[in-house]
Structure 1
Amino acid sequence: MGRGRVEVKRIENKINRQVTFSKRRNGLLKKAYELSVLCDAEIALIIFSSRGKLYEFGSAGTSKTVERYQHHYGFGQDIGRETQMQSWCQEVTKLKVKFESLQRTQRQLLGEDLGPLNLKELLNLEKQLEGALAQTRQRRTQLMVEQVEDLRKKERQLGDINKQLKLKLEAELWSSSNGGATTSGTSNFHLHYAQPNSIDHCEPPEPVLQIGYQYVQAESSSIPKSNTASETNFIQGWVL
């Protein structure tokens, strides 16, 4: 006759509970060993008794199998991320402290928040300010010298441009003066007409080309002035 079904519940009798634990524990360890051998499986078995006693079995080593299990489920990555987060938090805290220190130093350089400083710290602050002032003055002097050099360079360039413009103006004046002289020289060429021998001559006089400033004077002084003036007006009318 077969065994009946055993009701699965906590065994109240302490002795029976201990006996059942020992038997089933040994059977479980035996089955784990057989499974690992027969099926070439990696098995890790960990058992803690009610008194806290440890019983374990590992076909490839319990620690190795547990690490593999953690890596499979990402427990190692979570630990690494947690460590990285802690490192970042520490770095943020350091940077925050440094930032506050720099802000305090800036206020002190501006003459603020000097109460907590002692005499030695005030002397150091004074030396820093004097050094910064000296560097500022040196930089200012350098910039002023560079500006003066630039102004001198521009002055030389403007002087050269002024000389070129002056030479160009003198050349234009010389050219215009020579052109005027030539024009005045050519203006000396006039056309004059010979006076007739007699006022009674009816034919108009023929034009005669004469060069230079020449004045034709009446040959006879016996001609009346009125006739001379009329003749002169007549001759001027033919002058080109």
Structure 2
Amino acid sequence: MGRGKIEIKRIENTTNRQVTFCKRRNGLFKKAYELSVLCDAEVALIVFSARGKLYEYANRSVKATIDRYKKACSTSGPVVEVNAEFYQKEADSLRRQIANLQGKIRNCLGEDVNLVESKKLKNLEKSLEEGIKKIRARKNELLRAEIEYMQRREVELQNDNKCLRARVSKIIETERGSQLLPGTYDGFPPMDSRTLLSGSVMEQAHHYPPQHETSLHLGMVLE
């Protein structure tokens, strides 16, 4: 059997009323805790017993929540108007900050300095000097890095040049070793011009007959 409905009215029995108060109070505080944790809500709960005893629960601070409640109640208009007013104030604050930053940028560029006080000009000068020091230090760092890179690159190029020279020299020596010297033939001793001339004449004398033999041969053919 399920639990029956309880009539919502004042409990006349003092003991029963006190027991019910303790049970319902603890259940109410438990529900408030669960609501604050599950929904990330700001909860403040105040309970006075029939005897005037105070019981309270708050996930942050009861006083802060009450002050927030008073502030929300004192503001006229619906919640939408309140949010609009809040965002309008935030927008005005951001506009002022942007205008201030734009003025500082113009002053750094040397513009509108006639409207700046002497103290602000000194602070501006100091800021610019510190900025210039940082810029120069960064520039020198980049120059040193570039010089070191060029030096390393030069060493690499020199090493590559040496390797190329060594390869070219090796190729030239190999070609010289494979080529024959002038005036020499493979398997024969060197010969001078007189030997070549005499050899040519002897070869001609061997292959071509004398002139009278040729004429006699031609006469026999003609007959």
TM-score by length of 2: 0.50
Greater Rg by CA: 1
TM-score by length of 1: 0.47
Identify which of structures 1 and 2 has the higher relative contact order when contacts are C-alpha pairs closer than 8 Å and 6+ apart.
1
